Amino acid sequence: MILVTGATGNVGRHVLDLLVAGGHAVRALSRSPQEAVWPAEVDVVAGDLAAPASLDAALAGVESVFLFAVPGSGPAFVAAAQRAGVRRVVLLSSGGVDDEAEVQDGPIAAYHAEIEQALRGSGLAWTFLRPDVFAANSLMWAGQTRSGDVIRGAHAEAASAPVHEADIAAVAAAALTEDGHAGQVYRLTGPQSLSHADQAAILGRALGRPIRYAELPAETVRQAMSAHVPGPILDNIFTTWAASVGRTAPTTTDIEKVTGRPARSYHDWALDHAAAF
């Protein structure tokens, strides 16, 4: 049995579908399972990674886990996994984690690194997926593109190599079901470094409309986002954007190495999600 946590999320829902399509026995964990629609083949359990007492039932009979990173949850998850006899864990970590750093650069990298650390010392066979920025972050622009052709946001020239969530999931499914991935750290990127302005233009091509990115002062955007995102995380996002302005984001071929297929492009992602925009 494979347990998929974060199963209602951008990545987890694809992991679930790939495992079901591959004929694997799958259990999905959600804090509110009644609010989602699940494939008939999936065993669904209510559970919360921040409430370790709920994990024993979820982990009973489980051999492998796709793990969503809830801040601070590493040690209790590891203890529950060891009690249940889990053998393999594939963690959805972050591209921000830096193995060379004594102190991680910001809270996002720090809490993912803490969970990695708990797994490294656990005796479980672990695989870490460290994605770059998700292409799915662009969904935050959907409200603007539904009402016009201009995306207003911060740092037009901030660069990343946005990665399709289905590619992250394909690597996860391979690591959960094949041998040879234990102890591996996969740095998952899209095929190309793109600025926010580039992404807007590509989105426009996919939608058949001339979409452009209009830069606003970072502080204006930060204020608007502060209603939904906690302050320290928001600071982390804006610091990362500012630091990447005018840079070329590194790309890797880890997705192709693991799945045998090149990473999907941002244009592919935009076509897959055109309806949202």
Ligand X SMILES: NC(=O)c1ccc[n+]([C@@H]2O[C@H](COP(=O)([O-])OP(=O)(O)OC[C@H]3O[C@@H](n4cnc5c(N)ncnc54)[C@H](OP(=O)(O)O)[C@@H]3O)[C@@H](O)[C@H]2O)c1
Residues at the interface with ligand X (CB under 6 A): 5-12, 30-32, 48-50, 68-70, 92, 94-95, 108, 131, 133-134, 137
Nearer to ligand X, 139 or 149 (CB): 139
Q: Element (H or E) spanning 270, and its range?
A: helix 266-272
Q: Name the residue type at position 165.
A: E
* Shortest spacing between CB 106 and ligand X, in angstroms: 11
Nearer to ligand X, 5 or 122 (CB): 5
DSSP string, 46-82: E--TT-GGGHHHHHTT-SEEEEE--TT-HHHHHHHHH
* Shortest spacing between CB 155 and ligand X, in angstroms: 15
* Shortest spacing between CB 275 and ligand X, in angstroms: 18
* Shortest spacing between CB 210 and ligand X, in angstroms: 26
- Exposure pattern of 140-169 as b/e (b: 16+ CB <10 Å)? ebeebbeeeeebebbbbebbbbbbbbbbbb
CA-angle at 219, arms to 216 and 223, nearest 5°: 105
CB 176 within 8 A of CB 2: yes
Greatest extent of the chain over all pairs of C-alpha atoms, in Å: 56
CA atoms of 75 and 138, how far apart (whole Å): 33
Nearer to ligand X, 10 or 193 (CB): 10
Q: Which residue has the tokens 């996994």?
A: 81
Nearer to ligand X, 133 or 197 (CB): 133
For ligand X, the nearest residue by Cβ is: 9
* Shortest spacing between CB 118 and ligand X, in angstroms: 15
Nearer to ligand X, 211 or 237 (CB): 237
Report which DSSP code applies to 265: P
* Shortest spacing between CB 271 and ligand X, in angstroms: 20
Nearer to ligand X, 8 or 145 (CB): 8
Nearer to ligand X, 50 or 53 (CB): 50
CA atoms of 50 and 72, how far apart (whole Å): 8
Distance of CA 184 to the CA centre of its chain: 17
CA atoms of 111 and 89, how far apart (whole Å): 17
> Strand, helix or coil at 104?
coil
* Shortest spacing between CB 144 and ligand X, in angstroms: 18
